[in-house]
Amino acid sequence: MHTTEPITFTASGPPTLGDAAVEIVPLISTVAVAGPPVLLAWAGTVLFALLLAGPFALIVTLVVVLAAAAGLVMLAGAILATPYLLIRHFRLRLAERRHASRTSRAAFVTVATDGPS
Protein backbone atom coordinates (compact mmCIF):
# COMPACT_ATOMS: atom_id res chain seq x y z
CA MET A 1 0.00 0.00 0.00
CA HIS A 2 1.32 3.39 -0.99
CA THR A 3 0.34 6.32 1.26
CA THR A 4 1.95 8.99 -0.84
CA GLU A 5 -0.64 8.87 -3.59
CA PRO A 6 -3.13 11.75 -3.48
CA ILE A 7 -6.69 10.94 -2.62
CA THR A 8 -9.07 11.92 -5.37
CA PHE A 9 -12.79 12.29 -4.92
CA THR A 10 -15.13 11.44 -7.65
CA ALA A 11 -18.20 13.56 -7.43
CA SER A 12 -21.07 12.97 -9.77
CA GLY A 13 -22.80 16.21 -8.79
CA PRO A 14 -24.06 18.16 -5.80
CA PRO A 15 -24.82 16.06 -2.72
CA THR A 16 -28.39 14.92 -2.39
CA LEU A 17 -30.51 15.08 0.76
CA GLY A 18 -29.84 11.39 1.41
CA ASP A 19 -26.07 11.91 1.19
CA ALA A 20 -26.25 14.84 3.64
CA ALA A 21 -28.37 12.79 6.04
CA VAL A 22 -25.88 9.92 5.90
CA GLU A 23 -23.10 12.35 6.91
CA ILE A 24 -25.11 14.16 9.62
CA VAL A 25 -26.64 11.12 11.40
CA PRO A 26 -23.34 10.07 13.07
CA LEU A 27 -22.83 13.64 14.30
CA ILE A 28 -26.34 13.85 15.75
CA SER A 29 -26.20 10.45 17.40
CA THR A 30 -22.92 11.18 19.18
CA VAL A 31 -23.15 10.76 22.94
CA ALA A 32 -22.59 14.14 24.61
CA VAL A 33 -21.04 12.60 27.72
CA ALA A 34 -17.83 11.50 26.08
CA GLY A 35 -15.44 13.28 23.79
CA PRO A 36 -13.82 16.64 23.22
CA PRO A 37 -17.03 18.75 23.02
CA VAL A 38 -17.77 18.02 26.67
CA LEU A 39 -14.20 18.92 27.59
CA LEU A 40 -14.48 22.20 25.71
CA ALA A 41 -17.80 23.03 27.36
CA TRP A 42 -16.32 22.22 30.77
CA ALA A 43 -13.28 24.37 30.07
CA GLY A 44 -15.53 27.24 29.02
CA THR A 45 -17.62 26.87 32.16
CA VAL A 46 -14.54 26.80 34.37
CA LEU A 47 -13.09 29.83 32.60
CA PHE A 48 -16.38 31.71 33.03
CA ALA A 49 -16.50 30.78 36.73
CA LEU A 50 -12.92 31.95 37.21
CA LEU A 51 -13.74 35.24 35.48
CA LEU A 52 -16.65 35.80 37.89
CA ALA A 53 -14.81 34.66 41.04
CA GLY A 54 -12.82 37.88 41.50
CA PRO A 55 -15.73 40.35 41.32
CA PHE A 56 -17.91 38.02 43.41
CA ALA A 57 -15.23 37.82 46.11
CA LEU A 58 -14.88 41.62 46.06
CA ILE A 59 -18.63 42.14 46.46
CA VAL A 60 -18.85 39.57 49.27
CA THR A 61 -15.90 41.22 51.03
CA LEU A 62 -17.52 44.66 50.78
CA VAL A 63 -20.82 43.35 52.14
CA VAL A 64 -19.09 41.65 55.07
CA VAL A 65 -17.04 44.78 55.87
CA LEU A 66 -20.13 47.01 55.73
CA ALA A 67 -22.09 44.60 57.94
CA ALA A 68 -19.24 44.50 60.46
CA ALA A 69 -19.01 48.31 60.47
CA ALA A 70 -22.77 48.60 60.99
CA GLY A 71 -22.54 46.12 63.86
CA LEU A 72 -19.73 48.11 65.49
CA VAL A 73 -21.68 51.35 65.16
CA MET A 74 -24.74 49.73 66.72
CA LEU A 75 -22.62 48.30 69.55
CA ALA A 76 -21.03 51.67 70.24
CA GLY A 77 -24.47 53.32 70.23
CA ALA A 78 -25.79 50.75 72.68
CA ILE A 79 -22.81 51.21 75.00
CA LEU A 80 -23.14 54.99 74.93
CA ALA A 81 -26.94 54.96 75.37
CA THR A 82 -27.03 52.56 78.31
CA PRO A 83 -26.07 55.06 81.08
CA TYR A 84 -28.50 57.66 79.71
CA LEU A 85 -31.35 55.15 79.62
CA LEU A 86 -30.58 53.87 83.12
CA ILE A 87 -30.47 57.35 84.64
CA ARG A 88 -33.70 58.30 82.89
CA HIS A 89 -35.37 55.13 84.13
CA PHE A 90 -34.25 55.65 87.74
CA ARG A 91 -35.28 59.33 87.72
CA LEU A 92 -38.73 58.35 86.44
CA ARG A 93 -39.10 55.71 89.15
CA LEU A 94 -37.97 58.17 91.82
CA ALA A 95 -40.45 60.78 90.59
CA GLU A 96 -43.25 58.18 90.65
CA ARG A 97 -42.35 57.25 94.23
CA ARG A 98 -42.33 60.90 95.32
CA HIS A 99 -45.67 61.50 93.64
CA ALA A 100 -47.16 58.36 95.20
CA SER A 101 -45.90 59.27 98.67
CA ARG A 102 -47.29 62.82 98.39
CA THR A 103 -50.72 61.61 97.30
CA SER A 104 -50.86 58.93 100.01
CA ARG A 105 -49.72 61.44 102.65
CA ALA A 106 -52.34 63.94 101.48
CA ALA A 107 -55.01 61.25 101.62
CA PHE A 108 -53.87 60.27 105.11
CA VAL A 109 -54.00 63.87 106.29
CA THR A 110 -57.53 64.38 104.94
CA VAL A 111 -58.73 61.11 106.47
CA ALA A 112 -57.12 61.96 109.83
CA THR A 113 -58.65 65.46 109.94
CA ASP A 114 -62.09 64.21 108.93
CA GLY A 115 -62.06 61.59 111.69
CA PRO A 116 -64.48 61.36 114.62
CA SER A 117 -65.37 64.70 116.03
Q: What is the pLDDT along the chain (117 residues), one digit of tens a residue?
A: 556 766 666 666 677 777 777 777 766 666 666 566 666 777 888 889 999 999 999 999 999 999 999 999 999 999 999 999 999 999 999 988 888 877 766 666 565 565 555
What is the Cα–Cα distance from 117 to 112, expressed in whole angstroms? 11
pTM higher than 0.85, yes or no? no
What is the Cα–Cα distance from 47 to 96, expressed in whole angstroms? 71
Cβ atoms of 32 and 38 within 8 Å: the answer is: yes
Mention every residue, 6+ apart, whose C-beta is less than 8 A from residue 113. none
